[in-house]
Amino acid sequence: MVAFGTDWAEDAARRDFTLNALYCRADGTLFDPLGGINDALNGRVRFIGEAATRIAEDGLRVYRFFRFSASHGGEKLDPDGLAACAAAVGKLGHLPAERVGSEILRMLALPDIALTLGAMAAIGLVEIDADQIKILKAYETLGGFTPATRLAILIDERPAEAMQQQWRLSNEVMRAAQSVAAAADMVEQDRLDEAAYRFGEVAVEGLALAAAQDNWKPDRLAEAARSLAAVQLVPFPISGNDLAGLGIKPGPALGRELARLERIWIDSGFALDREALLAQARS
């Protein structure tokens, strides 16, 4: 049941953080019953009243504390809030996984989160190791803040299915992260052309991920970026119908032959034309 009231202070006392307890009339008059303006201006994310009480009311506020600290607090964590979050870690099993996942995804879209995720890992709220934090920080240093790339970093050391289940992430979100990871693998193997062909613009994120993972020097990154930008993408010149016309019956065998010829075409630098590829077909 929703009840409406007119007491600003009473309403504010029920909220989570002081910077979320600001009110404004239509004429622009500002009401700040709990000092939220100063906290907002100083980048301080502070629980209202007793942090433990606010968290007991809604355990999701633990995740919100870290997200707001990253988005509004410059990744500086209020000591009292951090202590209360650490004490609550073992009491959050009741939270719906999709709500936790939503908070995580919103955090992954922020400009700087490596230090915050490191603090979350330190209290046992998330499973992220020191190497992953290092890669996340390197990725941020490159100017990256794409959720799919960050998620690719997080799933690198654990089964993707486990993380998807833990946070109820959609198949679309997981596919995006796995595409970045696959593109990064190709970039690391100097298969820039193939990364661009298979993943399009995602190859740019793959390049950033590869650079962050292997701590590339600026000149190597710049050279790879120029090479990737110079790739001229063309469509694969043959199709299953072409192979069927040679007498290959539709089915797994046709698919394998099409993949084999595509591999030959990629290895040629996309140079072989339709006639040259069909001449190599195994009927």
**CA-to-CA distance for 215 and 222, rounded, in angstroms?**
13
**Burial (0-12, 13-18, 19+ Cβ within 10 Å), 208:** buried
Say if residue 4 is in the same domain as residue 76. yes
Please identify, among 126, 141, 156, the residue that sits at the C-terminal boundary of a domain: 126
* pTM of the full structure: 0.88
Q: Which token pair is 236? A: 């694969």
Please identify, among 196, 211, 233, the residue that sits at the C-terminal boundary of a domain: 233
**CA-to-CA distance for 2 and 238, rounded, in angstroms?**
63
* Chain segment 44-57, per-residue pLDDT in tens: 999 999 999 999 99
Please identify, among 106, 126, 146, the residue that sits at the C-terminal boundary of a domain: 126
Say if residue 220 is in the same domain as residue 136. yes
| Number of structural domains the chain divides into | 3
pLDDT at residue 30, rounded to an integer: 87
**CA-to-CA distance for 168 and 266, rounded, in angstroms?**
37
**4: pLDDT confidence band, cut at 50, 70 and 90?**
very low
CB 191 within 8 A of CB 231: no
Residue 185 has pLDDT above 90, yes or no: yes
**CA-to-CA distance for 173 and 147, rounded, in angstroms?**
9
